[in-house]
Amino acid sequence: MNALKILFVSPEVDPFVKVGGLADMAGSLPKGLAALGHDVRVVCPYYGLARERPGWTALEETLGVDVGPRALWARTWRTTLPGSRVPVYLIEHDAFFARGGVYDGPWGPHGDNDLRFAFLCRAALALCQQLRWIPDVAHGHDWTTGLLPVLLNTTLRATELGRVASVFTIHNLEHQGYANPRVLDFARIPRSEFRPDSVESFGSVNMMKAGLYHSTKLTTVSPTYAREIRTPEGGWGLDPVLRFRGGDLIGILNGIDTTVWNPATDRLLAARYDEGDLRGKALCKAALREETGLAADADAPVFGVVSRLASQKGLDLLAAALPRVMEEMRVQFVILGTGDAGLQDAFSGLAARHRGRLAARIGYSNELSHRIQAGSDFFVMPSRAEPCGLTQMYAMNYGTPPIVRATGGLADTVEQYAEGKGLGTGFLFGEASARALYYTIGWACSTFYDRPADLAALRANGMRKDFSWNRSAERYEEVYRWAVEARRRA
């Protein structure tokens, strides 16, 4: 089979810039595709202010980007994804990108997010023209890249880019990118697209909807989420569009980067371990307790949380369940997260009340996130909705059975524990309530104290599972070929 040329455009790419799991996905799937022999190139904004980095080179030619009344200019930095030869092009244009947060500033979302990401889409395509590298497929992710397929279908249809097929991946339908129609003029997309069966929604441009209408094929990050978003309960108002395009939409589970998330090689840990020898995991638990100020209570299980503190993640259920859990059970908790101010306060308050038993680290720390995965006995993720979720897969690979609500990718990746049978990889519950979470934490706790053989089996089952990109990269390859074929016939 011939190799494909794949343009991969994302607002976040690990390790260059990361807000959530999209960065992990965008930093790892391209490596999986390259391993299959494809020519994949990643484009992402350059948000930093520091210029040169080791191994980065600036392209000699300035990039002219056809937006607004006159073209704007950008500089392009080229580097590679670590551990691979996959090129990454970082687009530097300070007026749009050189600022603190990727999406948000201190007062909420940046007011010009529509223009910033329209610029990214237009720049990615201009770069292809400049490099004289015309991809077979342009693959965008979430609302920030929603205008990419619109440009291919309209403004650029008559150019050499007009035959490029598009694939659009939904990582989270909750954020849709509502914008003033001025963004169309800025991107030089005809105003005739401002209609409900294209980019318009309630008098605004909906950039997510634009991607859903215009892309040749659609994917989302788990089969269960692919079903959920077709229903009014899970569709965030776009379920009619997703039903309309249902035949072009499939769910493909994310993989994880096992060169980064592997307890046998992870240099961020106090000790390394694998399925055959868990002594290192015990050392990681002791080190985690010391680092976070938890008492060295040899018997108690440690429950870990690493999460954005957003309503999607269901951590209000945990905050509500914890007072009773802490009172009735001999357990310890370590919580790492940042986001919603109310939740930050709730967890800090609980930590103050349960010193030595409950530690809350409000903030972002990649290092601590690895150490929590390794040093905990259980990983708690009670999401209300979870398109895929990566942290539960990291947890299972680190021998830390997750406690999750059965939704989206959590339902697809975690297998329910069957008591006394040594089956399963974690604990699932259905009802989004503090009560259901409380009982499930209790179930995990009693497994820790009363059924150590079962717990050992759960750990081993999770560690044996293959969550790497091997399978899913092949599924994306199929979708790309399917899209190329459909574009050719269009």
**Which listed residue (6, 7, 9, 22) binds ligand GLC by CB under 6 A?**
22
Q: Provide the strand spans (E) within 289-389.
A: 302-309, 332-339, 358-362, 378-381
Report the chain's C-alpha Rg in angstroms. Answer: 23
By DSSP bridging, strand 302-309 and strand 217-220 are unpaired
Question: Is 288 in a helix, a strand, or coil?
Answer: helix
Nearest distance from residue 387's CB to ligand GLC, in Å? 4
Residue 179 to residue 48: CA distance in whole angstroms: 25
- Confirm if 447 and 457 have CB atoms less than 8 A apart: no
Listed residue (266, 382, 402) closest to 313, CA to CA: 382
Nearest distance from residue 320's CB to ligand GLC, in Å? 22
Nearest distance from residue 389's CB to ligand GLC, in Å? 4
Distances (CA, A) of 145 to 114, 128, 151, 431: 10, 16, 11, 34
Q: Which does 56 bind (CB under 5 to 8 A by kind): ligand ADP, ligand GLC, none?
A: none
| Residue 20 interacts with ligand ADP (CB under 6 A): yes or no | yes
Number of neighbours of residue 310 by Cβ within 10 angstroms: 18
Q: Which does 442 bind (CB under 5 to 8 A by kind): ligand GLC, ligand ADP, none?
A: none
| Residue 389 interacts with ligand GLC (CB under 6 A): yes or no | yes
Which residues lie closer than 8 Å to 466 by C-beta, 6 or more apart? none
**Which listed residue (284, 306, 390, 473) binds ligand GLC by CB under 6 A?**
390
**Which listed residue (3, 18, 20, 178) binds ligand GLC by CB under 6 A?**
20
Residue closer to ligand ADP (CB basis): 136 or 142: 142
Give the tokens for residue 412.
């697809």
DSSP state letters, 141-160: ESGGGTHHHHHHHTTTTTSG
Q: Which residue is nearest to ligand GLC (CB)?
A: 21
Q: Which does 391 bind (CB under 5 to 8 A by kind): ligand GLC, ligand ADP, none?
A: ligand ADP
Q: Which does 220 bind (CB under 5 to 8 A by kind): ligand GLC, ligand ADP, none?
A: none
**Which listed residue (76, 144, 166, 172) binds ligand GLC by CB under 6 A?**
172
| Residue 24 interacts with ligand ADP (CB under 6 A): yes or no | yes
Residue closer to ligand GLC (CB basis): 4 or 170: 170
- Confirm if 385 and 395 have CB atoms less than 8 A apart: no
Residue closer to ligand GLC (CB basis): 163 or 308: 308
Which residues are 244's β-sheet partners?
A: none
Listed residue (11, 9, 23, 50) closest to 369, CA to CA: 23
Residue 128 to residue 408: CA distance in whole angstroms: 35
Q: Provide the strand spans (E) within 202-279.
A: 204-206, 217-220, 249-251
Residue closer to ligand GLC (CB basis): 76 or 224: 224
- Confirm if 121 and 9 have CB atoms less than 8 A apart: yes
Torsion of CA 72, 10, 382, 429, to 10 degrees: 140
Nearest distance from residue 87's CB to ligand ADP, in Å? 23
DSSP 88: E
Q: Which does 288 bind (CB under 5 to 8 A by kind): ligand ADP, ligand GLC, none?
A: none
Q: Which does 337 bind (CB under 5 to 8 A by kind): ligand GLC, ligand ADP, none?
A: ligand ADP
Residue closer to ligand GLC (CB basis): 20 or 68: 20
404 membership: H or E segment, kind and range = strand 402-405
Residue 178 to residue 403: CA distance in whole angstroms: 34
| Residue 102 interacts with ligand ADP (CB under 6 A): yes or no | no
| Residue 397 interacts with ligand GLC (CB under 6 A): yes or no | no
| Residue 103 interacts with ligand ADP (CB under 6 A): yes or no | no
| Residue 368 interacts with ligand GLC (CB under 6 A): yes or no | no
**Which listed residue (171, 289, 371, 487) binds ligand GLC by CB under 6 A?**
171
Residue 82 to residue 411: CA distance in whole angstroms: 31
Q: In the window 333-392, what residues touch ligand ADP (CB under 6 A)?
A: 336-338, 364-366, 369, 388-391
Give the tokens for residue 234.
């899970």
- Confirm if 268 and 206 have CB atoms less than 8 A apart: no
Residue closer to ligand ADP (CB basis): 149 or 402: 402
| Residue 387 interacts with ligand GLC (CB under 6 A): yes or no | yes
Residue closer to ligand ADP (CB basis): 184 or 305: 305
| Residue 413 interacts with ligand GLC (CB under 6 A): yes or no | no
Residue 257 to residue 26: CA distance in whole angstroms: 10
| Residue 236 interacts with ligand ADP (CB under 6 A): yes or no | no
Residue closer to ligand ADP (CB basis): 391 or 447: 391
Could you give the string, one character per residue 202-231, with x where binding to ligand GLC holds by CB under 6 A and - elsewhere?
-------------------x----------
Q: Which residues bind ligand ADP (CB under 6 A)?
A: 20-22, 24, 306-308, 336-338, 364-366, 369, 388-391
Residues that bind ligand GLC in the complex, under the rule CB under 6 A: 20-22, 25, 171-172, 221, 254, 386-390, 409
